[in-house]
Structure 1
Amino acid sequence: MMIKILLVIFIGLASGLSVGAGFVAFLTVLGIIPRLTQLSKSLRMIQYYEWAVVSGVLVGVFASLRDPAFHISSYFLIPLGLTGGVFVGMLAAGLTEVVNVFPILAKRIRLDKQIIMLVMAIVLGKIFGSIFQWLYFIHH
């Protein structure tokens, strides 16, 4: 029985760390973190960004293995959710800028002149999709 538990722990940690390492490598190869620091004019803090990503991956691995339940106030969850959303949004924005997704997409769907409409449609779709997911799947 103890060997089975140790094997499950080893497989869980190994798979989580490999996924986390792949995520960090993905961000590093595409140069998303350096680009984010350039956009936010905080180049001197690049090591903090990198450590934040690595720490986030490790905490995510631990949380996915443990499935924690936090009993905290809803007033604390609002800024936590907002900062998480800002992080994911900035990450997505950095990724799309690095691989030039918007200009290619705008040219393909013939919206070269209205690229701001394309960006706003994506932003509003993300907002309404998140609200729908929260209201329907989380609170239903």
Structure 2
Amino acid sequence: MAFEVLITMIVGLSGGLAVGSGFVAFISVLGIIPRLVQLTNTEKAAKAYEIAVIGGAVFGTAAVLHPFQFSFPAFFTIPVGLAAGIFVGMLAAALTEVLNVFPILAKRVGMEKNVMSLVMAIVLGKIIGSLFHWIIYVTL
């Protein structure tokens, strides 16, 4: 019995290290933190960004492993959801930038001169779709 528990612990730790290493490699390859520092002109806060990403990953891991519930007021979910949405949006934007998706898409659909219109259409479509989902499927 103790041997099985030890093997389970080793396999779990190995899997966690593999996934964590993949996440760190993904974030590093995309260059999210240096690009964020460059765009916001906040070179002094680079360490804080790194700590925030690491802290978020650790907290997320703990939240998955130990299911617990918070009892905060409903309005508290707005900033939490906003922060989660900003993180996912920045991750998607970084991936898009690295892969040069917009210039390729603009060339394919014949909008080389109107790339900004294409970006705004995608952004507004995402916002309207998200609002539709939350208003229709979540709140009703």
Q: Secondary structure, in 3 states, of the residue corresponding to 2:59? A: helix
- Structure (1 or 2) with the larger CA radius of gyration: 2
TM-score under structure 1 normalisation? Answer: 0.80
Within-5 A mapping of 1:28-107? 28-107=28-107
Count residues with an aligned counterpart: 140
TM-score under structure 2 normalisation? Answer: 0.80
Q: Unaligned 5+ residue runs, structure 2?
A: none
Q: Unaligned 5+ residue runs, structure 1?
A: none
Computed over aligned residues only, the root mean square deviation of the Cα atoms, in angstroms, reads 2.5
AA of the residue aligned to 1:121:
A
Q: 1:84 to 1:19 in 2, by over 3 A?
A: same
Greater length-normalized contact order (CA 8 Å, ≥ 6 residues apart) = 1
Q: Secondary structure, in 3 states, of the residue corresponding to 2:113? A: coil
Shift of 1:104: 1.6
Identity %: 52
- Between the aligned partners of 2:100 and 2:71, the Cα distance in structure 1 is 42
Residues 32 and 94 in structure 1, CA contact (< 8 A), matched pair in contact too? yes
AA of the residue aligned to 2:44:
R
- Between the aligned partners of 1:128 and 1:11, the Cα distance in structure 2 is 43
